[in-house]
Structure 1
Amino acid sequence: MKKVFLLLSALLLAGVVSAQGHKKNILGVRAGLNVSSYSISESGVSIESDARAAYHIAVSDQILLSERLPFYLETGLAYTSRGGRLGNVSLRPSYLQIPVLVNYHIGIRNIVSIQPFAGLYYGLGIGGKIKERKSGAKVDAFGEDGMLKRSDLGVRLGVGATWRHYYFGLGYDFGCLNTFKEAEGGSSMRNNCFTISVGYNF
């Protein structure tokens, strides 16, 4: 316990020292890989869909919240393709997402910055298809015949790292809203997603 306390104290102290030279505003661009799947619950039974690999592109803005500690509020705008596979059906929705995150910059010898982050994201469905793979039949994911609601909301956790202006990040999104349009009898479908991002900060 004493070792954990000392480690946390050292990290906070490093943050205080490094905060002195931190930018008040950091703009960045990001792109990377999504691996998403659906958590489905119906009549007390839970299953997980097969995963789908896709991509995301984003712009980000980090705003310094404190002069003493390097806490940042991070937001931005992202285009992200998600979904999953249920048997012979492939769901491929696309969203515009706005994150609201808090991250903390831990400087290591003024070379690398480690940045754990946590917060929420909101997604608005803007396109994508639901495809029956054997027949090739397609419908709009959010259209009249589609099965998905347009709104999505979730929790985002992860960690980033910067070296000079270059960025690398790992994150996981836990979907909180039921995205299934015709939910009956307590059935629900939530989209979760693991992300790998690379980018550049200006």
Structure 2
Amino acid sequence: MKKHILSVVAALAVCAGAQAQTSVDDFKFGFKGGYNLSNLGGDIPGHKALSGFHVGGFAEIPVSAKFAVQPEVLYSAQGSKSKTTIGNVDFKTDVKADFINVPILAKYYALEGLSVEAGPQIGFLVKAKQGSVDVKDAFKSVDFGLAVGASYYFTENIFASARYNFGLTDVAKHSSDGFKMHNNVFQVAVGYRF
């Protein structure tokens, strides 16, 4: 838990440093939420994408006219669907793993209203279930990834975004024989920036 707190404090320190270089009037914040299509990629046969959601807040800290740093804190429902066949019977079980994700994105305004974003993301496991069984102990508590996406501002305040999160960490706690499992999540969202 101490490592989690230190990671969040480090992220906030980076944001505070960027904030110190810009005026308070330029600093913006907001909230967003939307749809997740996630999968536990890697060496797991028979897993398919699972629908979920994400919701949270963000800050936008301008560095120049075209560049900004955008830290976010998002609650994200992730996982995958699985199907196992024994004899003639199919057993379908969803693996649901909820995370608090903290991406820190470099944001570039390519055109009026259109931005592209990329950066590292750290995720903290909140809970994990396979069906009704708690499987949190089978997952690592921290996940690192890379987020890449774009946003379009319809007005000064209202926007839509799309993003793909590439999991870099093998989130299976007890990997053996080269078995690996990664969080991969496609997200679409709408949001409001104050």
Q: Where does residue 187 of structure 2 map in the other structure? A: 195
Q: What are the residue-to-residue correspondences of 1:10-159 with 2, within 5 Å?
A: 24-41=26-43, 47=45, 49-66=47-64, 69-87=65-83, 88-108=92-112, 113-131=113-131, 138-143=132-137, 147-159=138-150
RMSD value, Cα: 1.5
1:151 CA displacement: 1.1
Amino acid in the other structure paired with 1:97? N
1:47 CA displacement: 4.7
1:97 CA displacement: 0.9
Amino acid in the other structure paired with 2:50? R
Amino acid in the other structure paired with 2:145? G
1:129 CA displacement: 1.5
Structure 1 residue aligned with 2:154, among 163, 174, 178?
163
1:104-131 CA-partner distances (Å, limit 9, x unpaired): 12443xxxx1010001111000124211
Amino acid in the other structure paired with 2:114? I
Amino acid in the other structure paired with 1:58? G
1:24 CA displacement: 2.1
Q: Which sections of structure 2, spanning at least 5 residues, go unmatched?
A: 1-24, 84-91
* Count of residue pairs brought into register by the alignment: 161
Cα distance in 1 for residues equivalent to 2:147 and 2:96: 20
Amino acid in the other structure paired with 2:28? I
1:121-150 CA-partner distances (Å, limit 9, x unpaired): 11000124211xxxxxx222314xxx2212
TM-score, normalization by structure 2: 0.78
Whose radius of gyration is greater, 1 or 2? 1
TM-score, normalization by structure 1: 0.75
Cα distance in 2 for residues equivalent to 1:37 and 1:193: 6
Identity %: 23
Q: Which sections of structure 1, spanning at least 5 residues, go unmatched?
A: 1-22, 132-137
Cα distance in 2 for residues equivalent to 1:38 and 1:92: 10
1:30-86 CA-partner distances (Å, limit 9, x unpaired): 000000012122xxxx757201000000100010112xx320001021100000012
Matched-pair contact (CA < 8 Å) for 1:78–1:98: yes
Amino acid in the other structure paired with 1:180? A
